[in-house]
Structure 1
Amino acid sequence: MRQRIFSTLFALLAIFIVMNVTGIWPQFYDGLRQGVDYATSQEGRDLFESDLENAGEVPGAQAPAPSAPVGADHLAARATLETLTVKGKAAKTGYTREQFGPAWSDVDRNGCDTRNDILARDLVDETFKPGTNDCVVLTGTLPYEPYKGGTNVAFERGSKDNGLDAEHIVALGNAWISGAQQLDQATRTAFANDPLNLVMVDPGQNRAKGDRNAAEWLPKNTAYRCDYVSRQIEVKAKYSLAVTQPEKDAMTKVLDSCQ
């Protein structure tokens, strides 16, 4: 009998220690003080299960959000770069803008042309032309202009001072000499209107770039170069476009600097 009593006391002590260490005991004790019957009532069983689930939590504290691997996209870009065909530039013979379909087609059939879709995607506080079903963007603010690094850049349709360009990250001319001339018309049109390959930028930077590849031109804003090169690689992989050896070397150099 005495041994059984000691065994029972030891077991209860062990349970108390575990409950105290895990943080269950204070909540359990408060329940007892409030008259909760943990043994027989449904309320008591629900509270006990809740105590178990919340053991060790600090009141008011939020669980830390899982962190993504640093530079994961850039690491993926490096791997994808190794899959791209490396060869010299093809001749630009036959290239015209029309080879990539009508400018700013409505390829997704949402009633808005691609340029307005990208404006609506990238701007905040937009206003729209009345009667266009919120399609034609009249004004707005670009929170971050990636090529120069400006913030809160104003846009006003038709304004010489407050304009923005929908820029092809892989330029159409570069795509043509990288393999797009072998694509059919529908695929080239999709390429020219693919949101993955479009971003709103400063017009001067767009014109300065022209059809140049990464070996010949990079954004003035060095903080954006890793994302810029990574996006170029993603686009070229999607449409089976090639890179030149100097272009690949330049992309690799940029990716080497990415955090």
Structure 2
Amino acid sequence: MSRVLRAAVAAAAAVLLTAGLGAAPAGATPPNIPSYSTALSRLNALTVAAESHASTYNRDLFPHWITITGSCNTREQVLKRDGTNVVVDSSCAPTSGSWYSPYDGATWYAAADIDIDHMVPLAEAWASGAWAWTTAKRQTYANDLGGPELWAVTDNVNQSKGDKDPAEWQPPRSAFRCTYARAWIQVKYYYALTVDSAEKSALNSMLATC
């Protein structure tokens, strides 16, 4: 089935599933997203500094999609956590289920259409302080299931985001921007990463939508 046809089927199914509800489908979300007031306080506690060491970034310095339990790696754990009625095979690869992407409001029925996004991208983390970490700490960051760092989202939306911060990219679904900002701030705060001035301004604007 072509990607275009899959998208059409997914969109039609999503309409049927949500008709009359007026809200996004229920589903798991990453843990420990702070409230508006906590996020605002934590944003103001972050160190404001220009990014550095960006030219030395290498994705391999963040070992990711490690085995978490049994045969399941980090990606597969997020797909199970955030999906609905997810069935996996003996290798932990999803064979069926559905996934709602909060970034754009799309629902998908094939795991191949889902990327696992690092809320604060690896390159952004690197330039905000992770360049000074050990490889072990960067591995912990890249596979962090304990905070709002990993999100199951539409693949091409994640690809459009790339390594951009909120001054450069925000979710196309405007209703999610409050949550996105709160999650972004939590990750930066927890890992003591810096923010640049344009990024902080954008986050303040996003929090104003809460």
Secondary structure at 2:170 match in 1? coil
- The equivalent of 2:73 in structure 1 is 113
**CA 1:237 to 1:110, structure 2 compared with 1: closer, same or farther past 3 Å?**
farther
2:93 equivalent to 1:136: yes
Matches within 5 A, 1:91-102: 91-101=53-63
Secondary structure at 2:53 match in 1? coil
Matches within 5 A, 1:26-65: none
Structure 1 gap ranges (5+): 1-71
**Would you say the 8 A contact 1:155–1:164 is kept in 2?**
no
Q: 1:147 aligns with which of 96, 103, 106?
A: 103
Paired with 2:71 and 2:189, the residues of 1 have a C-alpha distance of 29
2:36 equivalent to 1:74: yes
Between Structure 1 and Structure 2, whose CA radius of gyration is higher? 1
Give % identity. Answer: 34
User: 1:251, CA displacement in angstroms?
Assistant: 0.3
2:115 is matched by which residue type in structure 1?
Answer: D
TM-score (norm 2): 0.79
Paired with 1:157 and 1:219, the residues of 2 have a C-alpha distance of 20
Q: 1:188 aligns with which of 138, 144, 147?
A: 138
Secondary structure at 2:35 match in 1? helix
Deviations 1:71-126 (A, max 9, x none): x701110000011110001131221111001x3012x4454100000000000111
Paired with 2:187 and 2:82, the residues of 1 have a C-alpha distance of 19
Structure 2 gap ranges (5+): 1-33
**Would you say the 8 A contact 2:177–2:209 is kept in 1?**
no
User: 1:145, CA displacement in angstroms?
Assistant: 1.3
2:42 is matched by which residue type in structure 1?
Answer: T
Q: CA RMSD in A?
A: 1.4
**Would you say the 8 A contact 2:79–2:111 is kept in 1?**
no
User: 1:157, CA displacement in angstroms?
Assistant: 4.3
Secondary structure at 1:257 match in 2? coil
Q: Which has the higher contact order (CA 8 A, sep 6+)?
A: 2
Pick which of 116-125 and 90-99 moved more. 90-99
Paired with 2:98 and 2:167, the residues of 1 have a C-alpha distance of 31
User: 1:136, CA displacement in angstroms?
Assistant: 2.2
TM-score (norm 1): 0.65
Secondary structure at 2:72 match in 1? coil
**CA 1:123 to 1:249, structure 2 compared with 1: closer, same or farther past 3 Å?**
same
Paired with 1:228 and 1:171, the residues of 2 have a C-alpha distance of 13
Aligned residues: 175
List structure 1 runs of 4+ shifted beyond 3 angstroms: 108-111
